[in-house]
Structure 1
Amino acid sequence: MENQTVQSLKIGSIKPDPGQPRKSFRVQDISELADSIAKVGLLQPITVRPSGKKFIIVMGERRYRACKMLNWKSIPCMVRELDEDAILEVQIIENLQRKDVEPVEEAEAIAMLKTKFTPEEIANRIGRNKKFVYARIKLSELIEGFKAFVRSKEMTISQAVTVASFPAEEQHLILEGMGKDFKERYVQNACNRQAFDLEKAPFKTDDATLVAKVGACTLCPFNSINQGSLFGDGKQICTKSSCYATKKTKTLLNLIDEVKKDGRLLIPKFRTYNSDSQDNQLILSIMEENGLEIHLLDDMDILTEPVKPTAESIRNEYHWQDWTDEEVNEELEERMESYNEEVEAYANAPEHGYLKGVIVDPNTYVTEVALMKAEEETIPDVHALPIDKKRMDDCTPTEKIQKMNTREVRKKELENNKQFQDVIKMVRESEYHNTKKTLSTDEMVAFCFTLFENHLSWYSQRDFFKGFLGNTEKKSRAEVVEQFRKNFKKEYFHKLIRFVMARQVHFGELNHTNNHVNIAFYNAVRPYLKKDIEAIEAEYEEKRIKREKRLQERIAKLERENELLKSA
């Protein structure tokens, strides 16, 4: 049995452990603890281990620092004989059980425990749930550049865990692209671009042979389901974009081999007018390099297998309309008639020269089977072409006037774009933002449109601000703005600000006691909803009182045990 005793040791014979996982100690916290010890005494001895003629702290460095601050000459200590592994384990778990532990430091400590325990065992030892432990393990993989933003609380824990889900090299790319200051929206957009929903992948996620050196996605550490479901329960998100891109390309190359062997057609899913985009050019070059004849959607008459309509699909399509069962059934009957005709046409298509083929999305490489045949070539009738497709020399005088007017309209649009950009650039570089005058009506109108268009979802506009802009039917955008300005009341401005404020607060580990935005908002809404807020506060206070009562009972029991140890 381990030898341990409680002794009063000279503070001068005790020193902190340089290998202690906890690195940060706030002077203010130590000072407050010293005040508490001065009033009620040291309720629990610190734990030390012998080291020659000295003793090294295992647990209780904060209490040790507070007692030194009080100029105590000696301090009650529990002396324990521990090996190096046990010391580290005890220190880490003791630190993790504190409430004020810094998140990055906490993550690094949990990562150290992972070498000896499973996440489930760690969760049990520190009194946390398994998902919390998985998140902290992932947070430990955050690169140093982002850890600084977590420590300064500019970056939330959830944002940090999302970024940490990506390989270090991709984290560095995000950091370099963001610049010196933390930009939440930039980071969020970058993460969205580099995260891929594996349920929508064009390949089988359990295929270990597709790219043999990386294996199956289902076992990959960069699959979120293997990171403690950080993106939601059961959600499979790939966070290694380079690997995902490699598997996508290999899938396309395998598909090309299959269609060449079977003599089928492979058609990229786009038309000639948008063939210049990066994704579209890439897939065309891959197809050409592998000896495929290029056909686009324009060139082919394509039949895809009909999808049978259902009442549920109709309700989803028209979710914004409150249709009765009778209306849904009427629509379903009409669609079933069309569906039956399409099924018959699809079944008889091979008799009319249609061949089996595959349509591939140039962005995702997701495919769909279809029947297709080349459209018959016809000699174009110049006079039947739309005016915008005709050369000026082929137009009649009336068409030339129309073509010239259309070009002038386009020139004005481009000119307006450039003029607006020049004005805004000048405004941003001016001292406009330092103007001390109260906001004008026009400025409030402008801010209303900024909030309405940029911060309200379509559902919020519909559910909470229906008719907010007035009747906009048959009105140009300029007329809508002028109408809103003409009927403007400050209460519109205030309503929008209050609505947006309520949706801009932070959740997670930020609350009404530790975040500027949340504290300010909590104070702002109290006068309006005082009784409701007080009811919630009372409920939480009741739980808190019960918990603290149980805590005091446990402390009292431990103090009695401590007295028995001293008298032993």
Structure 2
Amino acid sequence: MTSKASTTKKRSRAKATAKKEVNGKKSSILQIQNLPLGNIKPDPEQPRKTFNKDALQQLSESIEEHGVLQPITVRQLNGHYIIVMGERRYRASKLAGKKTIPCIVRTYENNDVLEVQIIENLQRQDVEPTEEAEAIAYLSEKYAPADIAKRLGRTDNFVRQRLKLAGLIDGFKHFVRNGEMTISLGVGVALFEPEEQQMILETMGEDFNAHQINRMIKDQTYDLDKASFDVTDKKLVPKAGSCIECPFNAANQGNLFGEGKMVCTKAACFETKKSKSFLNVIEKSKKENILLIPEIRQYWADDENNQLVISQLEKSGLKVYLLDDVEIIENPIKPSIEAIKIEYQHYDYSEDELKAELEEAMQSFNEELEQFSTAKEKGFVNGIVFHPETYQNKEVFVKVIEKSKDKSSEYSAPLANRKMADCTPEEQIVKINEREIRKKQIENNKQFEEVVQMIRETEYINSKKTLSTDEMVAFSISLFENNVDYMSQQKYFSKFLGDSSKMTKVEMVENFKKKLKKEVFHKLIRYMLTKQVHFGESNHLNNLTNISFYNAMQGYYKSKIDGIEKEYVEKRNKREARLKERIAILEKKIQELND
């Protein structure tokens, strides 16, 4: 009885006239009408596109028993009624076999109808996140995020995150809709331009992999707290302005990386600012005669990235001193009890023991401060030390380590920085030999690159000849050196492995054997051989994979490889003959000086 009485009261209220406030404006008194379902059509522009089938069926059963308790809102258009609010009730009524449905007919101006639909849908609890994001993006064309948040009863951060999510490309929206991708991860991907998102999507492959996406996001974002430049500087790159106000600063897009965390999501802009700031440091070094020292040890000087940095300094007219060539005195940081507690947080120290550690740290600090304060008196000059990758830098005092030629007080710059004419005959021979080693490395690499390029342009991969022993050895070593990670297995071997998620390791091996064909195996190995060789400084003389590849190719392209080698041998012989003559002259001079 109670249920029927309640239903009767609700129906009575539904039949009564009502004043409604929509979009902040009061409407006139409107009469509820029972309209035929056949005269009503869903709005094709309706922002809500998805409806839960199970929930719709439950509502249909409720309507079949109790009727529609809340009228839908419609507008007239070309002899029909278009739904403004209540498409779910309309769909459920059709499922329940109803012929009519209670409606409020309203008139709307311009885009008011779409705005009402959007706000009505966004206030529901079951809105799909990407549709919610697109709807909020539509509202953002007219309202500020704070205004949208007030209208929806949401936080500013929620609205900003949904606005970012709206920028997700369809390929990733699919993963959000089916529940594979979390909203926070979707927002992380949406930080990037559509072209960059497409690249991330293609790199990931067919199967969704949250760990891989997180790693790619981390690789393509930059912590502005660790930037080598002043993030408040508006003039460093005038078109970009300050990072503080930049829309690509995650702190201005909601708390995507934590409360107030400044993270740059525009890689190209960050790299431009980093490079520009480094050029400014170089100019300051030249203008104020400050020694600029890269944090590179002699042992790592031949590394490709380090060579680029060294080359940049040399092209700017600076003498290059590495860490091994100088002494450095930094301005020490005064210790505090808070810093001591952090340093010894994993030790069970008493307050007295921590104070004792602080006293010892203060003593060291005072000694270092004395060194820093008297650095110039001891022959140190102003210097800047910088990291060769991040370009983060700090001002220090520097002294070039004195390396005497004899007992006099004259000292020379490092050999690599001196011109040939300024060197002794012995040093000239050293420089000549070092240059020759370098030239051979570069030359061998070019020769190897030509061989590899030539083979890549042939039909070698499609060859049906039986594999040679050299090819199998090359392939084995290639796997040994480079390994095949899990993602590559899924990407390149999935057709052989089948649905590996439902198999044991033994079943996967058996399935692989069953599907493997000799022709495919040959093609796979030859594909691996041509892709796994290494260019750069790793030529075929100093890399196991490459020399095995080179030997393997000899059996197929001997005459072509011989032709390439012959040209390089002739060049090398001519150059070495000239060098022998030059060294012979220098050795004669040395003999004369010693006599």
TM-score band, normalised by shorter chain: 0.5 to 0.7
- For 1:49, which of 50, 62, 75 is the aligned residue? 75
Contact 1:166 1:222 in 2 (8 A): no
Post-superposition offset of 1:158 = 0.7
* Correspondence 1:55-66 to 2 at 5 A: 55-66=81-92
| C-alpha distance 276-107 of structure 1, shift in aligned 2 (>3 A) | farther
**Matched residue type, 1:308:** K
Query: Matches of 1:225 and 1:310 in 2, distance apart?
Result: 30
- For 1:90, which of 101, 107, 116 is the aligned residue? 116
Q: Tell me the residue number matched to 2:514.
A: none
For the residue of structure 1 that corresponds to 2:141, the secondary structure is coil
- For 1:40, which of 60, 66, 74 is the aligned residue? 66
**Matched residue type, 2:504:** H
Show structure 1 runs of 4+ deviating over 6 A. 422-426, 428-432
For the residue of structure 2 that corresponds to 1:227, the secondary structure is coil
| C-alpha distance 422-144 of structure 1, shift in aligned 2 (>3 A) | closer
Q: Tell me the residue number matched to 1:170.
A: 196
Q: Tell me the residue number matched to 2:271.
A: 245
Q: Tell me the residue number matched to 1:78.
A: 104
Identify the range of structure 1 (168-177 vs 345-354) with the bigger mean alpha-carbon deviation. 168-177
- Tell me if 1:8 matches 2:56: no
Cα offsets for 1:515-550 (capped at 9, x unmatched): xxxxxxxxxxxxxxxxxxxxxxxxxxxxxxxxxxxx
For the residue of structure 2 that corresponds to 1:217, the secondary structure is coil
Query: Matches of 2:193 and 2:404 in 1, distance apart?
Result: 54
**Matched residue type, 2:198:** H
| C-alpha distance 419-218 of structure 1, shift in aligned 2 (>3 A) | closer
- For 2:155, which of 126, 129, 139 is the aligned residue? 129
Query: Matches of 1:419 and 1:206 in 2, distance apart?
Result: 46
Identity %: 47
Q: Tell me the residue number matched to 1:25.
A: 51
| C-alpha distance 159-78 of structure 1, shift in aligned 2 (>3 A) | same
Post-superposition offset of 1:126 = 1.8
For the residue of structure 1 that corresponds to 2:271, the secondary structure is helix
- Bigger Cα Rg: 2
For the residue of structure 1 that corresponds to 2:251, the secondary structure is helix
- For 2:228, which of 195, 202, 206 is the aligned residue? 202
- Tell me if 1:155 matches 2:181: yes
- Tell me if 1:345 matches 2:345: no
Query: Matches of 2:82 and 2:480 in 1, distance apart?
Result: 70
- Tell me if 1:310 matches 2:381: no
Query: Matches of 2:126 and 2:156 in 1, distance apart?
Result: 20
**Matched residue type, 2:335:** P
Contact 1:205 1:216 in 2 (8 A): yes
Post-superposition offset of 1:301 = 0.9
| C-alpha distance 420-111 of structure 1, shift in aligned 2 (>3 A) | closer
Query: Matches of 2:304 and 2:239 in 1, distance apart?
Result: 28
| C-alpha distance 24-276 of structure 1, shift in aligned 2 (>3 A) | farther
**Matched residue type, 1:351:** E
Query: Matches of 2:168 and 2:303 in 1, distance apart?
Result: 34
Cα offsets for 1:232-257 (capped at 9, x unmatched): 22111110111100000000001111
- TM-score, normalising length: structure 2: 0.64
For the residue of structure 1 that corresponds to 2:375, the secondary structure is helix
Post-superposition offset of 1:419 = 9.7
Query: Matches of 1:277 and 1:42 in 2, distance apart?
Result: 75
Q: Tell me the residue number matched to 1:116.
A: 142
- Tell me if 1:255 matches 2:326: no
- Tell me if 1:68 matches 2:94: yes
Q: How many residues align?
A: 403
Query: Matches of 2:79 and 2:481 in 1, distance apart?
Result: 80
Query: Matches of 2:141 and 2:91 in 1, distance apart?
Result: 30
Query: Matches of 1:420 and 1:84 in 2, distance apart?
Result: 63
* Correspondence 1:270-289 to 2 at 5 A: 270-289=296-315
Q: Tell me the residue number matched to 2:211.
A: 185
Contact 1:149 1:182 in 2 (8 A): yes
Cα offsets for 1:105-158 (capped at 9, x unmatched): 111011111111121221222222221111111100111221111112111111
Post-superposition offset of 1:271 = 0.9
| C-alpha distance 145-281 of structure 1, shift in aligned 2 (>3 A) | farther
Identify the range of structure 1 (102-111 vs 311-320) with the bigger mean alpha-carbon deviation. 311-320
Contact 1:225 1:236 in 2 (8 A): yes
Post-superposition offset of 1:83 = 1.6
Post-superposition offset of 1:172 = 2.3
Cα offsets for 1:32-71 (capped at 9, x unmatched): 2101111222110000011132111000011111111122
For the residue of structure 2 that corresponds to 1:136, the secondary structure is helix
Query: Matches of 1:218 and 1:347 in 2, distance apart?
Result: 36
Q: Tell me the residue number matched to 1:140.
A: 166
Unaligned runs of 5+ in 1: 381-414, 437-568
| C-alpha distance 204-421 of structure 1, shift in aligned 2 (>3 A) | closer
Query: Matches of 2:243 and 2:73 in 1, distance apart?
Result: 47
Post-superposition offset of 1:421 = 5.7
Q: Tell me the residue number matched to 1:565.
A: none
Contact 1:110 1:133 in 2 (8 A): yes
Post-superposition offset of 1:338 = 2.0
Q: Tell me the residue number matched to 2:401.
A: 375
- Tell me if 1:324 matches 2:350: yes
What CA RMSD, in Å, does the superposition of the two structures yield over aligned residues? Answer: 2.8
Contact 1:167 1:239 in 2 (8 A): no
Contact 1:2 1:81 in 2 (8 A): no
Unaligned runs of 5+ in 2: 1-25, 407-476, 508-595
- For 1:295, which of 321, 329, 333 is the aligned residue? 321
- For 2:256, which of 192, 207, 230 is the aligned residue? 230
**Matched residue type, 1:372:** V
Query: Matches of 1:210 and 1:34 in 2, distance apart?
Result: 63
Query: Matches of 1:175 and 1:282 in 2, distance apart?
Result: 32
Q: Tell me the residue number matched to 2:504.
A: 433
- TM-score, normalising length: structure 1: 0.67
Cα offsets for 1:150-190 (capped at 9, x unmatched): 11211111101111122223222222221222111111111
Identify the range of structure 1 (243-252 vs 297-306) with the bigger mean alpha-carbon deviation. 297-306
Query: Matches of 1:421 and 1:159 in 2, distance apart?
Result: 29
Query: Matches of 2:207 and 2:137 in 1, distance apart?
Result: 28
